[in-house]
Chains A and B, each alone.
Chain A
């Protein structure tokens, strides 16, 4: 896709500029925008029109798997070599519930993390080229890729929201 490689990266000091730029870009039909923020900011998510994500499914499936594993494991090991202790039944379900519970939490939590990594694409080994250290400090950034719409148009819109910096990216090294 060398035809429309690269993109344009704009940095902003103020949230309202950023939000304005985002909205205008999206109105202008630009897609695949990447917005950098130093904090989780729901205004940005709203502006980008995010909906409920898929991570919760991971959590649910992981948790249920844990429950099932816990039940199956305790039951099987108890039956595998039935040993009586304290006159209690071989299948002491109340005791096994605790194991099941812990397994639910454990599997659920690990599944959630995996879900996060896959969806958020981290760990992300690619070099930080289209990036500004200030994004983790006080600045916001918007990256409009060529693939998402005409760069000239994007530049005009971004400039109109007085960015502190505007950077062309030719190689398209961005994630």
Chain B
């Protein structure tokens, strides 16, 4: 996977980073006994996970009624959070695969984190379809298996598309992620002791770094990237079709697929920054996650935020231009109805706040980026909330209009899902090299014998 051409070498890392060995030492040093802070965070995460599963248990025992869902709003916080996490899951493969294919040299330092984030985000998102169905004990009926009556799932249903898209996405992302870690776990194996050695030994699958291994590994990685790229685009398109395939005013729009994909990348990249900033600080990786990386990422955010904002405006315009009372009423209701606060939060966080990124000074201020991306994460959650809830609450039949208020159980599960994600991410930071060691070396100056440097490779 020779991505970086020689002209990039050394340009993307801090000058202090000289030798390959130094990379190994600095990256692998964190794979050791964690400190109090880490344990505290883990305890917090576990508490959240407890909340998550307790709330879910209550719902299973008592009935889905413990949520605030009602008629006509049959989908609410659960599906909102589902789409949110699927969206988060997108930047990982995007940065990893697409930037890889585009030979974007700055991906090396961030992609491992992004991919990990993807895998854990999908693991989180995948739970929500189970949470939101009324009879979770029958949820497996969505999976095609030869049941007693040979009744198969309805492949016309976007929900079945979801099952296929999300499971495929999880499998491929997980494989992609794992393959990428193999050379680095090998490196870890060569230095670790005790149980960690055994762990990395198994994880590295006997990787030696021989020419044959590197050769096929490189090829396979390219093809996987080539497959993962359309997959990324397809998955969130399918998720968007959960809505676009419905006839609900506010859902039934052709713009949805690109709109959702852009939104997903938007939120995903934002989340990468939100996570990278503290890690950079805590692990002292300023040399590896440089301002240049953040600058590149924020430009990506800026681009996608423009696309998303454009999609918002298009929706409103089409509603007006269509002249259909239900459409018009629905979008009017979005702006000034029961959920105006959600809509305006969405518009401000996703449309206005990112405008700051036009300024280089903002893009180069790590703390500013951290704050901005948090806003974006909030805004993107509300975007899904607005799309789902406002549309359902004011549909075709005016007499059946209704209002939905999330219940404590729903909120518990929503908050708990962040803890669940955080739990896995915390484990990741201490078990796997959060920065791709081997690939980072590609952007370092090649180790030529000092006096022979002019000669280069003869």
For residue B1, which residues in chain A have a CB less than 8 angstroms away from its CB? 40
User: A122 and B213 in contact (CB under 8 A), knowing A40-B2, A81-B152, A85-B156?
Assistant: yes
| B155 on the A face (CB < 8 A) | yes
User: A115 and B220 in contact (CB under 8 A), knowing A36-B208, A124-B205, A136-B186?
Assistant: yes
Do A39 and B20 touch (CB < 8 A)?
A: yes
Nearest-CB distance from B388 to chain A (Å)? 21
Question: CA of A119 to CA of B21 in the docked complex: distance in angstroms?
Answer: 29
| B212 on the A face (CB < 8 A) | yes
* Residues of chain A in range 49-107 having any CB-CB distance to chain B below 8 Å: 50, 52-53, 55-56, 59, 63, 73-74, 77-78, 80-81, 83, 85-86, 88, 92, 95-96, 98-99, 101-103, 105-106
Nearest-CB distance from A62 to chain B (Å)? 9
| A145 on the B face (CB < 8 A) | no
User: A40 and B218 in contact (CB under 8 A), knowing A85-B154, A109-B175, A131-B208?
Assistant: yes
User: A98 and B164 in contact (CB under 8 A), knowing A16-B458, A56-B219?
Assistant: yes
| B19 on the A face (CB < 8 A) | yes
Nearest-CB distance from A130 to chain B (Å)? 9
Do A113 and B179 touch (CB < 8 A)?
A: yes
Question: CA of A149 to CA of B89 in the docked complex: distance in angstroms?
Answer: 52
Do B175 and A39 touch (CB < 8 A)?
A: no
Highest count of chain B CB atoms <10 Å: which of A92, A115, A128: A128
User: A137 and B446 in contact (CB under 8 A), knowing A98-B161, A102-B165, A125-B206?
Assistant: no
Do B227 and A108 touch (CB < 8 A)?
A: yes
Nearest-CB distance from A49 to chain B (Å)? 11
Question: CA of A122 to CA of B210 in the docked complex: distance in angstroms?
Answer: 11
| A45 on the B face (CB < 8 A) | yes
Nearest-CB distance from B222 to chain A (Å)? 9
| A37 on the B face (CB < 8 A) | yes
Do A34 and B211 touch (CB < 8 A)?
A: yes
Question: CA of A148 to CA of B183 in the docked complex: distance in angstroms?
Answer: 27
Do B231 and A105 touch (CB < 8 A)?
A: yes
Do B150 and A80 touch (CB < 8 A)?
A: yes
For residue B280, which residues in chain A have a CB less than 8 angstroms away from its CB? none
Residue of B nearest to A83 (CB): B154
Nearest-CB distance from A35 to chain B (Å)? 4
User: A113 and B208 in contact (CB under 8 A), knowing A39-B441, A40-B442?
Assistant: no
Number of cross-chain contacts by CB at 8 Å: 210
User: A59 and B227 in contact (CB under 8 A), knowing A15-B446, A122-B206?
Assistant: yes
| A167 on the B face (CB < 8 A) | no
For residue B164, which residues in chain A have a CB less than 8 angstroms away from its CB? 98-99, 102-103
* Residues of chain A in range 121-175 having any CB-CB distance to chain B below 8 Å: 121-126, 128, 131, 133-138, 175
Do A16 and B457 touch (CB < 8 A)?
A: yes
Nearest-CB distance from A143 to chain B (Å)? 8
Do A120 and B458 touch (CB < 8 A)?
A: no
User: A135 and B207 in contact (CB under 8 A), knowing A77-B152, A102-B168, A112-B227?
Assistant: no
Chain B 175-211, CB-CB to A under 8 Å as 1, else 0, gives: 1100100110011011100000000000001111111
Question: CA of A52 to CA of B183 in the docked complex: distance in angstroms?
Answer: 21
For residue B35, which residues in chain A have a CB less than 8 angstroms away from its CB? none
Residue of A nearest to B151 (CB): A81
Do A138 and B144 touch (CB < 8 A)?
A: no
* A136 CB contact (under 8 Å) in B19, B151, B154, B187: B187
Question: CA of A115 to CA of B21 in the docked complex: distance in angstroms?
Answer: 31
For residue B238, which residues in chain A have a CB less than 8 angstroms away from its CB? 98
Nearest-CB distance from A76 to chain B (Å)? 9
| A5 on the B face (CB < 8 A) | no
Residue of B nearest to A125 (CB): B206
Highest count of chain B CB atoms <10 Å: which of A33, A103, A112: A112
* B183 CB contact (under 8 Å) in A86, A119, A136: A136
Do A39 and B213 touch (CB < 8 A)?
A: no
For residue B215, which residues in chain A have a CB less than 8 angstroms away from its CB? 45, 50, 53, 120
Do B155 and A37 touch (CB < 8 A)?
A: no
Question: CA of A126 to CA of B209 in the docked complex: distance in angstroms?
Answer: 14
| B216 on the A face (CB < 8 A) | yes
User: A99 and B155 in contact (CB under 8 A), knowing A80-B150, A138-B19?
Assistant: yes
Do A137 and B161 touch (CB < 8 A)?
A: no
| A19 on the B face (CB < 8 A) | yes
Do A99 and B209 touch (CB < 8 A)?
A: no
Chain B 20-37, CB-CB to A under 8 Å as 1, else 0, gives: 110010000000000000
Give me 30 A-to-B residue pairs in the complex whose CB atoms sit less than 8 angstroms apart, sorted by A's number. A14-B448, A15-B457, A36-B209, A37-B211, A38-B20, A40-B2, A43-B457, A44-B214, A53-B215, A56-B223, A80-B150, A95-B156, A95-B161, A99-B161, A101-B230, A105-B172, A105-B228, A106-B171, A112-B224, A112-B227, A115-B220, A116-B179, A120-B213, A121-B212, A122-B213, A123-B205, A134-B21, A137-B187, A138-B20, A138-B447
Which 4 A-B residue pairs are closest in the complex by CB-CB distance? A124-B206, A133-B190, A77-B152, A123-B205
Extra contacts, 6 of them, besides A98-B165, A124-B207, A136-B183 (Cβ < 8 A), are A52-B219, A110-B171, A112-B224, A123-B206, A128-B206, A136-B24
